[in-house]
A and B are shown apart, each in its own frame.
Chain A
Amino acid sequence: MKYVKLIISFVLTIGVFFILNTKLGSIPPIGKFLNPYSGIWQNETTETTSGDISIPGLKDKVTVHYDDQLIPHVFAQNESDLYKAQGYLTAKHRLWQLEFQTFAASGRLSEIIGEKALDYDRTERRRGMGYGADQAIAYMEKHDKETLGYIQDYADGVNAYIRQLKPENYPVEYKLLDYKPEAWTPKKTTLLLMYMTKMLAGYDDDLEYTNTLRLLGKDNFDLLFPDFFDITDPVIPKETDWSFIDVAQTPLPNSKAVLDTITETISKPHPDNGSNNWAISGAKSATGNPILANDPHLGLNLPSIWFVMQLSTPKHNAFGATIPGALSVISGFNQYIAWGETNATRDVIDWYKVEFNKDRTKYKYDGQWKDVSIRVEDIKIKGKENYKDTVLYTHHGPVVYDKNFKSDMELAGYAMKWIGHEGGNNQKTFIELNKAKNYDEYVQALQYWNAPAQNFVFASTEGDIALWIQGKFPNKWEGQGKFLMDGSNPENDWQSYIPQQFNAHTKNPDRGFVSSANQHPVDENYPFYVFNDGYETYRNRVINDYFNSKEKFSIEDFKNLHNNNYNLKAAEIVPYMLEHMDTSPLDEEEMSIYNEIKAWKFNNDIDEVGPSIFRQWYGKLYNLVWDEFVSEDTALSSPFTYQTIYLLKNHGEHKFMDIVKTEDKVETAKDLILIAFRSAVSKLIEIREEKGNYKWANYKATYAGHLLQALPAFSRFDIPIGGDRNIVNATSENHGPSWRMIVEMSSPPTALGIYPGGQSGNPGSKYYDNLIDDWAEGKYLQLNFLQSSQATDAIISTLTLTPKN
C-alpha cells in the first residue's frame, strides 16, 4: 500500500513539474512564466537609464542622456562606437521586436509559433527574402567594407546586450512563447532592410491583371486600369522640363502577355502602406526658415516600428526616428538638413513564365536550355521535424510558383524578377544622409539607394528644398511587366536601368513647396514608362491645394495639415450619389440616415456620423460595381477607387454596373446607389444596436496591435482619432501615420515629433504606449536637440558606456 502511494505521489510530482514547465498549445509554461524570480514579475519594471556599463570593443566612452520620454541622446567619439551604442540601446529597449522582425523577414516564424506559420514562411522564402539579404551582404563585401563594418559594429552592440542579459530579464514575449534570443548578425540588418523593401515595394497585381486581361479583353482592361487617371497632380510638378534627359525609353518589342489562369497568388503587403511629406521654402514660411514634415503610414503596431534617438559624434549630430535593426536615423534631421521619405511605388516586380526540361534542371531561354540553380530552404518548426523546400532559381529570380507551391504546372513555373534581389547598399544612404550638410551631399547620399523607391524630401538651413524620387528603376518598354511575360524571350528581360541622374526630381520649384503623398511620380511628359502602380489620388491634391491657398505657412499650419480630416474622396462622390438616388422608396429610418449624410461637410472627425455612413454606403456600392471580380478559382484585383468613382459618374450605364446575379434585370449606377444605400442602412442600424451609435470614433475603433497577432493584453484599442485612408490624416482601423515629424530649418533646427507607441518595448513599462493619447489628439513632443554632450534641463538621467579592457 505504501508502495502504491509512493508511486502515485511520485508520478503526481513529475506530472505537476512537467505541466508547469512546458508550453501547452498557446498556454505558456505556467511555473516558469509566473514565478516571481524569473517569470513575468521580473518584467514589471520601468527601464534603468543610469549607471556605467562596460562594453567590449568600444574605442572610447559613450555618453547617453535620456530625456523624460526615454529618448536616448547618444554622444560617441567616433562612428564605430556610435553604431555599437545604437545596437546596444536598441536591444536594451526593443530586443524582442528587433529579433522578431527579422524572423518574420526571413520566414522563420514556424520556429517560434509552430506549424501554423509554415505557409507564411514558405512564401517569404520563395519570395527570395533570404536570397536578397545574401546579395546585399555580397555587394557590401565587394564594394563597401566600411558600411559592412558599421553593420558589424551594430551587431556587436546588440550582442553585448544579449550576452549580459540574464534569463529573468528576457523580454516578456520570450517568456510567453518559451524561447530565447539568439546572436545578432550583419545579415539580420540586411533582412530588416529586405523587410522594408517588401513592405513598400513588394506589392504588385501582375498575375491578377493577367487574369483580368484574359477575361475582359484589352479595351475593358484599359478602361478599368488606365496608366494615368483623367487628373494627375504628380510628385514632380507638371511644368518640369525634362529636356536634360538624353536616354530613350526601351523600344517596344513584338511581345505578347502569357494569358494563363492563375488561381491563387502569394500574400501582399498592406495596400495603404504609404506616407505624406512636404517642405516649404523660406519665402513661403512665416519665419523665413524652410519647414519640412513627414508622416509614414504603416500598420499601427506595438512595439512601434519607430524608435527615436539622437545620434552624434564630434563630426555630426543627427536626430529622428530609427528602425530597430537598421543603422542611423531614417526620418529626421541634423544641424544642417532635414529629410523624410514617402513611398514611391513603381512596378519593380515582374513575373515570367518559365518552362523546364523533364527533370526540372534546365529552363528554356532564347531557344536554348539554361541551368536552374537550387536553393534549399530548411524551415525549422517548433515541435516538429524541419520542412525542406527546394526553390529553383533562374536568371530572372526565384521560381515562386511551381508544382510545389500554389500551382499545378508540372514542368513550368512563374519566376519573380524583383529589384529587392539586386543587392544594393541601402544602409549607406542613411549613414551618409545623417552626415550630409547641404543639397549636394544629400544627392550624393541618395545614389546608393535601390529599393524600396522613396520620395526623399529635403530642406536645409541654407534655404534649399528638394525632392528626389530615388530607386533603381528598370527602363521598361511601354507596358512591360503589366502582365505575365514569356520568360524564354530575351526581349522580355529588363533591358537596362534608368540612369540615376535621370530619376525624377525637383529643387526649389517656383511654387515654393515640394510634396509627395504616394501619387503618380510624374505626368505623361516624363520620357520613361511609368505604369500606374495603384497611385493615391486624394491626399496629394488636398496637400497641394493647401499650399496653394495662401502666401505664408507656420508650424501651426503644418500641424493642422497633418491632422487634416477632409475627405476629398467623399466630397467628389457623395453629392453625386445623393443626387442620383431615387429617395421615393425610402422609409422613415432610411430617410433620417439620408439626411444625416446630406448634412455632412466631409470631415472625418471622431464625432461625425457622416464618415461611417459613407464608408458603408460607398463600400457596398464598390462591391456591387465590381461583383464581376469575385471569383473563387481565379485571382483578381478590382479597380482602384479613383477609377471606380470616375466610371460611376461617367459610365453609369456600362455593363459592369449590372449585377451579374440578377439575370432578368439590367442595373445601372443609379440602381446600385439605391441598393447600396438600403443595405448600408440596415448594417448601420445593426452597428447602432451593438455599439450604441455609429459615430466615426466608435465605428472605426482604431487600435495599435501587438506584433504577435494583436494580443489584446499588449495592444491598445478604441483610440479616439479621426481620419481614414485617402485622407491626409490617414488613420484607418489599424493603419496610419506611424511617425509625425515637423522640422523648422532654423540654426540649429527645431523639431517636433510623435508616434503612436512609446520608446519601450516592454508592456510592463509606462513608456510602452504613453505617446498614443497625445498622438491621437494631434499633439507633438518637442524634440530636445542637444548641441553638445552637456546635459540640459530636459535630461533626467545619464547612462555611460565604457570600453571593457
Chain B
Amino acid sequence: MKNNIFNFFATILLALLLSFALPWWSVMTAALATSLFFPLKKAAVFFVPFLAILVFWGTYSFILSSGNDYTLAKRIATLLPLGGNPYVLMLVTGCVGGLAAGIAAVFGKQFASYASKK
C-alpha cells in the first residue's frame, strides 16, 4: 500500500516537472520512470499511475477552465461530442493522460522484471 501511495505522488510530481521540458507524452515518461523506482503489483501497476495522471490532468484542466467560465470547455465538449458538458471533458482529458501513463507503467514493470530475471 505504501508503495502505491509513493508511486501515486511521485508520478504526479515527476509528470509535473517533466511537463516543463517535454510535450504531452511526458506523462508516459513519468509513469515509466516511477514504475521502475516504485514497483507495484497486479492491477495497481496500471491503475495507480492511471489515477495519478487522471487526477493531475483533471485538476489542472479544471483550474484553467473554471477561471474562464468553462467557455472553451463547453465548446470542445460539443465538438468531441460529449454533450457540451465541461466536466465530462475534464474526465476524458484525465482518462486520456491516465491511459497513456498506465500503459507506459505496465511496459516499465515488464521491462524491470525482464531485466532483473536476466
Residues A12 and B61 in contact, CB atoms below 8 Å apart: no
Q: Which residues of A contact B19 (CB under 8 A)?
A: 37
CA–CA, A35 to B25, complex, Å?
9
Give min CB distance, B64 to chain A, whole Å. 5
Q: Which among A41-49, A204-212, A271-279 touches the partner chain? A: A41-49
Give min CB distance, B117 to chain A, whole Å. 6
Q: Which residues of A contact B93 (CB under 8 A)?
A: 34-36, 39, 41
CA–CA, A711 to B76, complex, Å?
11
Q: Which residues of B contact A764 (CB under 8 A)?
A: 68, 71-72, 75
Give min CB distance, B73 to chain A, whole Å. 6
Q: Which residues of A contact B43 (CB under 8 A)?
A: none
Q: Which residues of A contact B104 (CB under 8 A)?
A: 13, 16
CA–CA, A36 to B78, complex, Å?
18
Given A6-B114, A17-B28, are A44 and B71 also a contact pair (CB < 8 Å)? yes
Q: Which residues of B contact A31 (CB under 8 A)?
A: 24-25, 96-97, 100
Q: Does A2 make an interface contact (CB < 8 A)?
A: yes
Given A17-B28, A32-B23, A38-B23, are A763 and B114 also a contact pair (CB < 8 Å)? no
Residues B71 and A13 in contact, CB atoms below 8 Å apart: no
Contact pick for B114, options A2, A38, A41, A176, CB 8 Å: A2
Q: Does A765 make an interface contact (CB < 8 A)?
A: yes
Chain B: CB-nearest residue to A12: B103
Residues A763 and B103 in contact, CB atoms below 8 Å apart: no
Contact pick for B75, options A5, A30, A763, CB 8 Å: A763
Q: Does A231 make an interface contact (CB < 8 A)?
A: no
Q: Does A20 make an interface contact (CB < 8 A)?
A: yes
Residues A34 and B96 in contact, CB atoms below 8 Å apart: yes
Residues B110 and A44 in contact, CB atoms below 8 Å apart: no
Q: Which residues of A contact B107 (CB under 8 A)?
A: 6, 9-10, 12-13
Residues A713 and B110 in contact, CB atoms below 8 Å apart: no
Q: Does A244 make an interface contact (CB < 8 A)?
A: no
Chain A binding surface, main DSSP class: helix
Chain B: CB-nearest residue to A14: B107
Given A711-B79, A712-B78, are A32 and B24 also a contact pair (CB < 8 Å)? yes
CA–CA, A39 to B60, complex, Å?
12
Chain A: CB-nearest residue to B74: A713
Chain B: CB-nearest residue to A7: B110
Residues A13 and B28 in contact, CB atoms below 8 Å apart: yes
Give min CB distance, A461 to chain B, whole Å. 42
Chain B: CB-nearest residue to A765: B71
Contact pick for A16, options B57, B79, B92, B103, CB 8 Å: B103
Contact pick for A37, options B24, B28, B69, CB 8 Å: B24
Q: Does A40 make an interface contact (CB < 8 A)?
A: yes
CA–CA, A49 to B88, complex, Å?
31
CA–CA, A41 to B114, complex, Å?
39
Query: Footprint of A on B, CB under 8 Å?
Result: 19, 23-25, 27-28, 57, 60-61, 64-65, 67-73, 75-76, 78-79, 89, 92-93, 96-97, 99-100, 103-104, 106-107, 109-111, 113-114, 117
Residues A9 and B106 in contact, CB atoms below 8 Å apart: yes
Q: Lowest 6 A-B CB distances belong to which pairs?
A: A764-B72, A713-B79, A35-B24, A36-B60, A713-B78, A9-B107
Q: Which residues of A contact B72 (CB under 8 A)?
A: 40-41, 43-44, 172, 762-764
CA–CA, A10 to B72, complex, Å?
35
Q: Does A139 make an interface contact (CB < 8 A)?
A: no
Chain A: CB-nearest residue to B81: A713
Residues B68 and A46 in contact, CB atoms below 8 Å apart: yes
CA–CA, A2 to B110, complex, Å?
7
Given A5-B110, A12-B107, A763-B75, are A21 and B25 also a contact pair (CB < 8 Å)? yes
Residues A41 and B96 in contact, CB atoms below 8 Å apart: no
Chain B: CB-nearest residue to A176: B79
Contact pick for B106, options A12, A17, A768, CB 8 Å: A12
Q: Which residues of B contact A41 (CB under 8 A)?
A: 60-61, 64-65, 72-73, 93
Residues B28 and A42 in contact, CB atoms below 8 Å apart: no
Given A9-B110, A38-B24, are A17 and B100 also a contact pair (CB < 8 Å)? yes
Q: Which residues of B contact A32 (CB under 8 A)?
A: 23-24
Residues A34 and B92 in contact, CB atoms below 8 Å apart: yes
Q: Which residues of A contact B103 (CB under 8 A)?
A: 9, 12-13, 16
CA–CA, A43 to B73, complex, Å?
9
21 examples of A-B residue contacts, CB within 8 angstroms: A3-B114, A6-B110, A9-B103, A10-B110, A20-B24, A20-B25, A20-B100, A30-B96, A34-B61, A34-B93, A35-B24, A35-B27, A35-B96, A37-B19, A37-B24, A39-B93, A41-B73, A42-B64, A44-B64, A712-B78, A762-B72
Contact pick for A20, options B60, B69, B96, CB 8 Å: B96
Q: Which residues of A contact B117 (CB under 8 A)?
A: 2
CA–CA, A12 to B104, complex, Å?
8
CA–CA, A44 to B89, complex, Å?
13
B28, B78, B106, B107 interface centre (most CB from chain A within 10 Å): B107
Residues A44 and B73 in contact, CB atoms below 8 Å apart: yes
Give min CB distance, A180 to chain B, whole Å. 13
Q: Does A362 make an interface contact (CB < 8 A)?
A: no
Residues A35 and B73 in contact, CB atoms below 8 Å apart: no
CA–CA, A44 to B68, complex, Å?
6
Give min CB distance, A473 to chain B, whole Å. 46
CA–CA, A31 to B23, complex, Å?
10
Give min CB distance, A712 to chain B, whole Å. 6
Chain B: CB-nearest residue to A27: B80
CA–CA, A37 to B79, complex, Å?
20
Residues B100 and A40 in contact, CB atoms below 8 Å apart: no
Q: Which residues of B contact A12 (CB under 8 A)?
A: 103, 106-107
Mark each residue of chain A from 109 to 129: 1 if its CB lies under 8 Å from any CB of chain B, else 0: 000000000000000000000
CA–CA, A36 to B19, complex, Å?
10
CA–CA, A30 to B96, complex, Å?
8
Residues B57 and A35 in contact, CB atoms below 8 Å apart: yes
Q: Which residues of A contact B89 (CB under 8 A)?
A: 34
Q: Which residues of A contact B71 (CB under 8 A)?
A: 44, 763-766, 768
Give min CB distance, A303 to chain B, whole Å. 13
Q: Which residues of A contact B109 (CB under 8 A)?
A: 9
